Amino acid sequence: MWHTLTDDGYIYSRLIWHLEKAQNIEEIHQLLQEETPEGYNGWYWQCDQQGKTANFVKDISRAWAIAEANLTANRTESISLQCRYALIFTSLNSLADNIAPELMAALLKQEIWQPAQALAYVRQNKHSYSQAKGLEKIIKYLPSSSLSPEVLDSLSLEVLDAAIAIEDERNRARALVGLAPHLPKNLLSEALLAARAIGDESNRAIALVRLAPHSPEVLREALEAARAIRDEYYRAKALVGLAPHLPEVLEVLPQALEAVGAIGDEAKRAYILQQLAPHLPQSLLPQALEAVGAIGNESNRLVALQDFIERLTFLSIDDPLWQKILQTLAILTRPKFLEALPHLAPVIIKLGGVEALRETVKAVKDVSRWWR
């Protein structure tokens, strides 16, 4: 039976097409009636196992169309097959909690479901992650639909309301972020209000950072909300995420750097400094390097340092900044220092020429020989 064949990346996508081209119409209908030993529909079971339920929807749609075209030639067979395929779709409709977002997207694309119907099933789903992903699939589909602008606006609002109603805050944030690129401009402010209402500061920070770039009008509100986050780590994380999109980036970065200094967890502090590095102007590098130097754990310190070092080639390094960098590196153990040293090569050449690099290599050999 067809459904027992190993997936070669092609068969479960194109078999129906090949059978139709070969005029093996009866075999198409037989294929879609195959059963597994456990009594499940074989073709659906295999497509589901391969994560290709969208192909199953496409195949049923095609087989239904073939059955309709055969109405004049064989009414009995045509009518019974049409009823069979309608029943299959009603069975898919009944899955609710088990409908994968990809399957929902396929049902929408084939116009077997209307967006309002898909939305109803998302609301019935008990799993907040599936709700979030399902809403994203619906909102992505809306612009390509033939719905009137008024209906589109109304549905977009309903989708946003459904996202806001998700109980789990992590998945509510995920839903808001997934909807943002596709929401009408007039709804972005409402999405931002919903993001600001998220209680957990981690989820709130993620939602704010991902929402804001989609609308300049929203950026200002997102910045205010980010500044109001009490936890230093999440405040710094939100400010760093927003900074590249803000005209007043030089105003925001010092605030982010200040928040970094108050982060107690060194691994988190190193992570934020690493994220800050690509955006910092030269004027803030000494302050940032001080924050790096204050990290006690060597591995965390090196994580933060590497991004700073890689930026140095593109900056105008003066002697005081160079000395600050080297002093910060000197806190490391030798293996970690040697790990960072290759990234400094362009800066050494820029400041002291190729000969300075040669002498540095010689120093590495000497010192490594003296203290093995």
Shared-domain flag, residues 192 and 273:
no
Asked whether residue 261 is assigned to any structural domain, the reply reads yes
Shared-domain flag, residues 203 and 305:
no
Shared-domain flag, residues 201 and 259:
no
In whole angstroms, how far apart are CA 330 and each of 219, 293, 304, 324, 335? 40, 10, 14, 10, 11
Asked whether residue 362 is assigned to any structural domain, the reply reads yes
SS3 percent helix, strand, coil of the chain, rounded to 5, is 80, 0, 20
**Per-residue pLDDT, 312:** 65
Asked whether residue 142 is assigned to any structural domain, the reply reads no
CA 268 from chain centre, in angstroms, equals 21
Q: Give me the domain span that covers residue 193.
A: 175-214
Which residue among 214, 242, 271 closes a domain? 214
Which residue among 191, 214, 237 closes a domain? 214
The parts of the chain modelled with pLDDT lower than 70 are: 2-10, 12, 51, 54, 93-98, 217, 248-250, 311-316
Shared-domain flag, residues 257 and 368:
yes
Asked whether residue 267 is assigned to any structural domain, the reply reads yes
Asked whether residue 116 is assigned to any structural domain, the reply reads no
Shared-domain flag, residues 210 and 279:
no
Asked whether residue 363 is assigned to any structural domain, the reply reads yes
Shared-domain flag, residues 261 and 352:
yes
d(CA 281, CA 308): 11
Shared-domain flag, residues 366 and 261:
yes
**Per-residue pLDDT, 66:** 92
Shared-domain flag, residues 265 and 313:
yes
**Per-residue pLDDT, 132:** 92
Shared-domain flag, residues 360 and 292:
yes
Asked whether residue 243 is assigned to any structural domain, the reply reads no
Shared-domain flag, residues 261 and 201:
no
The total number of structural domains in the chain stands at 2
**Per-residue pLDDT, 344:** 83
**Per-residue pLDDT, 227:** 83
Shared-domain flag, residues 209 and 258:
no
Which residue among 214, 243, 266 closes a domain? 214
Asked whether residue 272 is assigned to any structural domain, the reply reads yes
Instruction: Write phi, then psi, for 41 (nearest 5 degrees).
Output: -60, 120
Shared-domain flag, residues 206 and 281:
no
**Per-residue pLDDT, 372:** 73
d(CA 103, CA 162): 19
pTM confidence score: 0.55
